[in-house]
Amino acid sequence: MYDFDKITGRHGTGCVKYDGLEGQFGHADLLPLWVADMDFETGDFIVDALRERIAHPVFGYPEVGPEYFRTIAGWVEKLHGWKVDPEHFRFIPGIVRGFALLEHFLLGKGDKVVIQPPVYHPFRITAQEQGFGVVENPLVPIYGDDGFLETYKMDLGGLERICGDPAVKMLVLSNPHNPCGVAWDAGTLAAVADIAVANGVTVISDEIHCEMMLGGARHVPFASVSGNAAKCSVTFMAPTKTFNIAGIVSSYAIIEDPELRDRIFGWLDATEISYPGIFSITATMAAYTKGARWREEMLEYVQANVDFVDGWLRENLPEIRAVRPQASFLIWLDCRRLGLPQEELNDLFVNKARLALNDGTMFGTGGEGFMRLNAGCPRSVLAEALRSLEKALKQ
Ligand SMILES: Cc1ncc(COP(=O)(O)O)c(C=O)c1O
């Protein structure tokens, strides 16, 4: 059994989550529950593989042999039941860089990108800052009988209307969705694909959180749902969130449509953007050949963390409700019943409770009144955070 209760100090390791607190929040002494990496130690099978490689003191150009993509394809098929030819994969130096690069490569002046907020903020920033238009198709909240927010659905009618604008050329999809934790079903994804194909829109499906499904939910890869979906899309996946190796940088693109693939892979290969570093290859191979048990135990632990946060809030702070994620370690907290403007909500978390969470408004429309909590940490840390929050609220 791996020990996910273990506290491993990260201060002074040059990591954003701890060492970036002062810069981001103005205080270095907050409990960090923000940036989406986990506080669990990366599995020994990855650390050992890296050590073994480092033991040889020559770090020349690595060879990307066929085994690399065969291993990734085998993992994708085992996890999602999606059989992809190993030739349809390419390395990508990070997923944000991946969709930013594709926006740069595929879009022209005046083109627009659709995003569905509240959503991972680089979806907006990469398009906007490269000079493209950003059109929002906000998610639709779904409330339970008790009046609390339960989950979200996509506004397919809204998407169809938006895609009818000839300037709209791309949709960036978060599947499963960050920060709301929604696992999109095959019917929704197939409808999105039909709208995209009918309007000449390319779908970039960011599936970085797909290896961390919770509560029996299954991941449906966008490109797997229909011929249209395979035809119009580029899929991004990675071992980095799952195995806590974001700092190593290793991700990959999958393209099923031959024309789109030749065009994009031709460019990625010619520019060597698709050429991985040694440690990306070593860490990915170790994760995907030796990491199955670690992943399962980590997911059990994360699921128990989600249950813990949800249960604790219901019992002790019912004004704050966790929208239970169907994937990953990020919990979308609905704090609207506190009735606080966002500035006061941030003041409560940061200055009074001494906690660093992501402010919901950074995820755009629909994020007001929310905070995003990273539950990828030892449970004792979550317990301490919740107690601090309760104390701050009752002050
Ligand atoms: C939806 C989503 N995409 C991409 C990323 C970042 O991926 P990368 O580090 O490969 O750029 C994150 C990290 O939180 C994410 O949540």
- Domain containing residue 304: CATH number: 3.90.1150.10
Q: Does ligand 1 have an atom closer than 6 angstroms to the CB of 207?
A: no
Q: Does ligand 1 have an atom closer than 6 angstroms to the CB of 303?
A: no
Ligand 1 atom index nearest CA of 96:
11
The encoded tokens of residue 301 equal: 């632990």
CA of 395 to the centre of ligand 1 (A): 36
CA of 24 to the centre of ligand 1 (A): 18
CB 308 within 8 A of CB 329: no
Q: Does ligand 1 have an atom closer than 6 angstroms to the CB of 206?
A: yes
* pLDDT tens digits along 20-58: 999 999 999 999 999 999 999 999 999 999 999 999 999
Residue 104 pLDDT > 90, yes or no?
yes
User: Best substitution site from 15, 33, 120, 243 to test ligand 1's pocket, by max atoms within 8 Å of Cβ?
Assistant: 120
d(C-alpha 237, C-alpha 252), whole Å? 6
Q: Which of 95, 91, 96, 100 is nearest to 284 (CA)?
A: 91
CB 45 within 8 A of CB 291: yes
Q: For residue 395, what pLDDT is reported? A: 83
Residue 375 pLDDT > 90, yes or no?
yes
330, 249: one domain = no
Answer with the one of 262, 290, 318 that is the final residue of a domain: 290
Q: Does ligand 1 have an atom closer than 6 angstroms to the CB of 37?
A: no
149, 232: one domain = yes
Mean pLDDT (whole number) for 63-80:
96
Q: Is 6 a domain residue?
A: no
CA of 208 to the centre of ligand 1 (A): 6
141, 283: one domain = yes
Q: Does ligand 1 have an atom closer than 6 angstroms to the CB of 94?
A: yes
- The fraction of the chain above a pLDDT of 70, given in percent, is 100
Average pLDDT, the chain: 98
* pLDDT tens digits along 311-322: 999 999 999 999
Q: Does ligand 1 have an atom closer than 6 angstroms to the CB of 180?
A: no
Q: For residue 311, what pLDDT is reported? A: 98
Neighbours of 141 (CB within 10 A): 15
Instruction: Note the Cα 187 to chain centre separation in Å.
Output: 21
Q: Which of 369, 324, 314 is nearest to 346 (CA)?
A: 369
With H, G, I as helix, E, B as strand and everything else as coil, classify residue 322: strand
pTM higher than the cut 0.85: yes
The encoded tokens of residue 306 equal: 């989600």
Q: For 383, how many CA atoms within 13 A lie in the half-sphere containing its CB?
A: 5
Q: Is 49 a domain residue?
A: no
